[in-house]
Amino acid sequence: MDEPENAAPQGEPLANGADTAPSVGVISQYVKDFSFENPNAPAIYQVQGQPQFDVQFNIGSAEVAQDVHEVVLKIDVRAETEGQVAFVVDLAYAGLFAVRNIPAEHLQPFLLGEAPRLLFPFARRVLADAVRDGGFPPLMLEPIDFNGLYYQQLEQRQAEEGAAGEAGQA
């Protein structure tokens, strides 16, 4: 059986010029919010020893226009040496992503898994430079598997919802 003249295999542009292929592009990247605190300078520079780091990540996304999403990678770092705060860094690094023809079930995994992976190297550089400019050795965070974390949290939420649903049944 022949396909209609204006049909195309899934994901291919239609003959009439309608573009149905999925596409994603980075429009821009930027520092949305940034803070570096060195509350115990200059005394902290006299303290010997390796600092202990507490690093927290948070990812958010919002649709800011049709087919345009902002993804914000928030990184908070607190470093302490011998009970004294060495430095505190709060960075919100964001990117605007053009997202077209992405199936709904793939949009959240992209926005909360893949997009932060794309932003991370640039956010890490901003963070490392700020720590270095604050008088400390640059802090080079290890790469993070944002896709793996997204799916791990998704499974955890589904398990919690399943347990809550089972507990509610009589």
In angstroms and rounded to an integer, the radius of gyration of the C-alpha atoms of the chain is 22
Predicted local confidence at residue 103, as pLDDT: 87
Task: Tell whether the model's pLDDT for residue 27 goes beyond 70.
Answer: yes
Q: Which of 84-88, 132-136, 161-165 has the lowest mean pLDDT?
A: 161-165
The residue assigned the tokens 């997009």 is 115
Task: Tell whether the model's pLDDT for residue 85 goes beyond 70.
Answer: yes
> Looking at per-residue confidence, does 18 or 86 come out higher?
86
Burial of 85 per CB tally in 10 Å (0-12, 13-18, 19+):
middle
Per-residue CA distances from 107 to 67, 79, 101, 144, 166 (Å) = 11, 35, 10, 20, 29
Task: Tell whether the model's pLDDT for residue 15 goes beyond 60.
Answer: no
Mean pLDDT in the chain? 87
Predicted local confidence at residue 9, as pLDDT: 54
Q: What is the mean pLDDT of residues 101-129?
A: 93
Task: Tell whether the model's pLDDT for residue 48 goes beyond 90.
Answer: no
pTM for the structure as a whole: 0.79
Predicted local confidence at residue 158, as pLDDT: 84
